[in-house]
Amino acid sequence: MSRAGRLPDFLAGLPPDLLAGLDADWLHRARADQLPPEGDWTIWAVIGGRGCGKTRAGAEWVDALARGDPAFTGEAVGRIALVGETLHDVRDVMIEGESGLLNLPRRGRARPVWFPSRRRLVWGNGAVAQAFSAEEADSLRGPQFGAAWCDEIAKWRDTEAAFDMLQFGLRLGARPRSLVTTTPRPVPLIRRLLADPRTVVTRARTHDNAENLAPDFLSAVVGRYAGTRLGRQELDGELIADRPDALWTREGIEAARVAAAPDLSRIVVAVDPPASSGARSDACGIIAAGRQGERAFVLADASLRRATPEAWAAAALALYHRLEADALVVEVNQGGEMAESVIAQCDPAVPVVAVRARRGKYLRAEPVSLLYARGLVHHVGALPALEDEMCDFGPDGLSNGASPDRLDALVWALTDLMLGARAEPRIRRM
């Protein structure tokens, strides 16, 4: 659908030439995450996926500051720093790129002039934007600025040195500010910026800018990587990191991921029911997995939050029937006979394997993590919520400070399929 097709009726009825002018105006066209936030901030961090419009947001902000656009600022900023990973990146992306400063819709305004030998972009009013490479942090010694645009800062090799040196040069005007546009990576500077109370963060996904992206890119690239660690970082702009003492790593999970499972000799749906269904109750972990030969395949995550016994039983049974599974594996520590009773009331013909935890979560999970380490367990497609719990699960038995209910269900399923009665937890079949 065209942008005009999404406008309110009274705008859609305007003359085409006037409507085209509105569509070319950045304040009209931009998404909320592409416009500078209000308030007393020092750093504006635009965190987003590839192709989400970060560069356009940065270029429009710098151009508005240089011109003194009253919609952005009442006073022009005379000196601005443009910092990229390399000078090549500054020129080819920030200045001459398709969404760069030289290619913005001018809307009747004169284009700034680029002087490559001097690494300067000069506007008609005398405002200057100077290009710097993050590889040459010392080049930022001496110059001073009223604003700075730092692009793809998570890629900079000597991130801390270049960014810190830039801060010493931001000393012109009443309120020097910086804009950071980047796809996130779990590097220390990104963590520090996101935790800084002076930083305002706006986020965007690749799909948010779908109208400006090639359909083939969306179907091929977005479709292929959606939900994976790489996709969540590069497309959704999420900061994905592993816990250093976790039993699993994202690299290991990614390396063993498959698009489809083979014919399986046994399939189970494991359930880790919560003790209650109140607002503060744990989630109900519901994980399906199957086995073929010496390998296991994690098939689905149907976990629910704050589910009643009837709700989680219905979800588990629906997954059981959809996959034509062989059994439900249900932890009975929390609910005891109640879990068995609820399932029997919903579908008495379904075989139930009752399991009782006799050891802590970490000790139960260790044998299963070794199966992953040996390359014997594959995730079929992306299971992001489950994988987040796995990669943040450590010796304290928690994941992101909470009970790892999806992980618990995974452990029960793979223990039944791959470890059986030879390993804890001991299994009592009904």
- Residue 334: predicted pLDDT: 63
Is residue 9 very low, low, confident or very high in pLDDT (cuts 50, 70, 90)? low
3 state DSSP class of 362: helix
CATH number attached to the domain at 250-429? 3.30.420.320
What pLDDT score was predicted for residue 102? 95
Give residue 1's pLDDT.
35
Q: One-letter amino acid identity for 390? A: M
- The residue that leads in pLDDT, 343 or 428, is 343
Full-model pTM:
0.61
CB 57 within 8 A of CB 201: no
Instruction: Tell me what pLDDT residue 216 has.
Output: 80
258-274 pLDDT tens trace: 999 999 999 999 999 88
Q: Phi and psi of 374, rounded to 5°? A: -85, 0
CA 429/CA 351 separation, integer angstroms = 9
pLDDT at residue 142, rounded to an integer = 86
Of residues 89 and 426, which shows the higher confidence score? 89
User: Are the C-beta atoms of residues 32 and 158 closer than 8 Å to each other?
Assistant: no
**Residue 3: predicted pLDDT:** 39
- Nearest to residue 298, comparing CAs of 223, 225, 373, 406? 406
Residue-level pLDDT at 347: 81
CATH class of the domain at 31-231: alpha beta
pLDDT for residue 115 is more than 60: yes
CA distances 372 to 293, 303, 411, Å, are 15, 21, 11
Q: What is the pLDDT of residues 200-209, one digit of tens each?
A: 999 988 888 8
Tokens found for residue 394 = 């450590």
Asked if the model's pLDDT at residue 149 lies above 90, the reply is: yes
pLDDT for the residue numbered 336: 47
pLDDT class of 4 with cuts at 50, 70, 90: very low
Q: Give the count of beta carbons closer than 10 Å to the beta carbon of residue 358.
A: 11
Measuring CA to CA, how many Å separate 208 from each of 58, 59, 223, 265, 383?
Answer: 17, 18, 14, 42, 22
Model confidence band, residue 95 (pLDDT cutoffs 50, 70, 90): very high
Question: What is the arithmetic mean of pLDDT over 367-389?
Answer: 93
Distances (CA, A) of 12 to 22, 32, 212: 11, 21, 20
339 or 250, greater pLDDT:
250
CA dihedral sign of residues 144, 149, 152, 153: positive
> Tell me: the pLDDT tens digits for 310-326?
888 899 999 999 999 99
Residue located via tokens 């299963």: 368
Nearest to 330 by CA among 421, 268, 420, 423: 268
Q: What is the dihedral of CA 422, 427, 429, 430, to 10 degrees?
A: 170
pLDDT higher at 26 or 296: 296
**Averaged pLDDT of the chain:** 84
List the domain boundaries for the chain.
31-231, 250-429
- Looking at residues 205-228, what average pLDDT do you find? 79
Average pLDDT over residues 283-289: 93
Instruction: Give the three-state DSSP class for 270.
Output: strand
CA separation for the pair 188, 179 (Å, rounded) = 18
pLDDT confidence of residue 428: 39
Which of 48-57, 121-130, 225-234, 334-343 is the least confident region?
Answer: 334-343
β-bridge mates for residue 359, sequence order: none
> What pLDDT shows up at residue 110?
84
Q: Which tokens sit at 195?
A: 């935790």
70-90: per-residue pLDDT in tens? 766 656 788 999 999 999 999
In angstroms, the CA 286 to CA 328 distance is 10
Residue 168 has pLDDT above 70, yes or no: yes
Interatomic CA distance for residues 244 and 231, integer angstroms: 22
Q: What backbone phi and psi angles, to 5 degrees, belong to 201?
A: -110, 130
Average pLDDT over residues 213-221: 79
Mean pLDDT to the nearest integer, 87-95? 95
| Cα–Cα separations (whole angstroms), residue 187 to 157, 160, 183, 227, 284 | 11, 10, 11, 21, 33
pLDDT at residue 366 is higher than 80: yes
Q: Name the H helices within 149-218.
A: 159-169, 188-195, 215-217
CA distance 112 to 65: 13
Name which residue leads in pLDDT, 61 or 274: 61
For 400-406, the CB contacts below 8 A with 24+ separation are 402/282, 403/282, 403/283, 404/361, 405/272, 405/274, 405/282, 405/283, 405/284, 405/285, 405/303, 406/272, 406/283, 406/285, 406/287, 406/301, 406/303
Given a cut of 80, is residue 335 above it in pLDDT? no
> Do 289 and 268 contact (CB within 8 A), yes or no?
yes
